């Protein structure tokens, strides 16, 4: 290999050229011992032939200089290749480390963001449950209020209907002479009993709702127009403390209880005319 070829290899930019030079350099190094330990006096010696053809000249010195130059070039190439390889490895490792660090940092950031998102999601769900519970409670309260209003409206409509019916009955009774239609005394009580509206209609029919009312003859007394005999009979069966008490002076709650007890025992027939408003 000449000095010009060595200089060309040193100026090569690609790794392929450098490796090619390294291979050539290694081959040359492997051949150097043959030249160093060769016997100059041997007939086929390269050194002897060179000296024989260039007797009296400075050829041996030139050959030694070229060999030294070749060795230096080879060492320089090998050193540069090794340095390049080392630099490449360092760059690659540095790049990998940077990527790994970025990936790890990104992973930590993502984990934190996921944890924060889960916390916010849990908080949002908890708030949503509270809002839903409040809305449900408000809705239940509103539904209960509306149901109560509907029930009261129905009660009021039933009350008005029964009262209007009683007023019409009275008008007919006053304008039409003759016997009044009555209910048989031995009627069976309804299993569910009268409603409070039906009891109210009965009281309105019997005494216009007055718990202290007394009939013109004085025989029938109170809101349910009990006779004293019937009153004492029912009181003796269920409320002994009320025996002998004037029905018209008894408390409204006691009159209501006595009327319920009489109905449960004999049904609506105990009120021959006004019992029509009871089931």
pLDDT class of 31 with cuts at 50, 70, 90 = low
Asked if residue 174 has pLDDT above 90, the reply is: no
Q: What percentage of residues in the chain have a pLDDT greater than 90?
A: 36
Asked if residue 209 has pLDDT above 60, the reply is: yes
Sign of CA dihedral 144, 158, 264, 252: positive
pLDDT of residue 38: 46
| Torsion, CA 31, CA 37, CA 43, CA 49, rounded to 10 | 70
pLDDT of residue 61: 46
Q: Which domains does the chain have, with CATH numbers?
A: 3-103 (no CATH), 183-277 (1.10.530.10)
Question: What pLDDT digit, counting tens, does each position of 179-195 carry?
Answer: 566 788 778 999 999 99
| Residue partners of 130: CB distance under 8 A and separation at least 6 | none
pLDDT class of 2 with cuts at 50, 70, 90 = very low
pLDDT of residue 135: 86
Asked if residue 273 has pLDDT above 70, the reply is: yes
Cβ-contact 204, 198 below 8 angstroms: no
Asked if residue 151 has pLDDT above 70, the reply is: yes
φ, ψ of residue 136 in degrees (nearest 5): -65, -45
- 3 state SS of 226: strand
For 29: left if phi > 0, alpha if psi spans -120 to 50, otherwise beta; the answer is alpha
Q: What percentage of residues in the chain have a pLDDT greater than 70?
A: 63
| Residue partners of 177: CB distance under 8 A and separation at least 6 | none
The residue written with tokens 């190439």 in the block is 77
Q: What is the mean pLDDT of residues 55-80?
A: 56
Q: What is the mean pLDDT of residues 15-40?
A: 56
| Better-scored residue on pLDDT, 9 or 27 | 27
Asked if residue 60 has pLDDT above 60, the reply is: no
| Residue partners of 202: CB distance under 8 A and separation at least 6 | 194, 224, 259, 271, 274, 275, 277, 278
Burial label, 209 (beta-carbon count in 10 A; 0-12, 13-18, 19+): middle
| Residue partners of 145: CB distance under 8 A and separation at least 6 | none
């Amino acid at each position: 290999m000449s000095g010009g070829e060595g200089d060309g290899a040193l100026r090569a930019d690609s790794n392929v050229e450098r490796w090619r030079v390294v291979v050539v350099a290694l081959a040359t190094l492997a051949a150097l011992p043959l030249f160093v330990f060769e016997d100059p006096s041997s007939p086929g010696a390269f050194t002897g032939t060179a000296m024989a053809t260039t007797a009296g000249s400075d050829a041996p010195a030139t050959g030694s200089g070229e060999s030294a130059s070749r060795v230096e070039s080879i060492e320089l190439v090998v050193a540069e290749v090794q340095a390049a390889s080392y630099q490449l490895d360092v760059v690659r490792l540095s790049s990998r480390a940077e990527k790994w660090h970025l990936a790890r940092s990104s992973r930590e950031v993502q984990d934190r963001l996921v944890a924060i998102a889960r916390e916010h999601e849990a908080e949002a769900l908890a708030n949503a449950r509270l809002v839903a519970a409040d809305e449900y409670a408000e809705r239940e309260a509103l539904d209960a209020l509306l149901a109560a209003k509907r029930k009261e409206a129905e009660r009021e409509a039933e009350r008005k209907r029964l009262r209007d019916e009683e007023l019409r009955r009275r008008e007919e009774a006053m304008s039409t002479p003759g016997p009044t239609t009555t209910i048989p005394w031995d009627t069976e009580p309804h299993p569910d009993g009268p409603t409070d509206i039906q009891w109210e209609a009965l009281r309105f029919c019997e005494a216009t709702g007055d718990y202290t009312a007394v009939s013109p003859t004085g025989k029938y007394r109170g809101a349910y127009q009990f006779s004293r005999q019937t009153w004492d009979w029912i009181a003796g069966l269920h409320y002994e403390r009320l025996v002998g008490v004037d029905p018209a002076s008894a408390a409204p709650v006691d009159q209501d209880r006595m009327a319920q007890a009489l109905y449960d025992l004999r049904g609506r027939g105990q009120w021959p005319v006004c019992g029509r408003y009871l089931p």
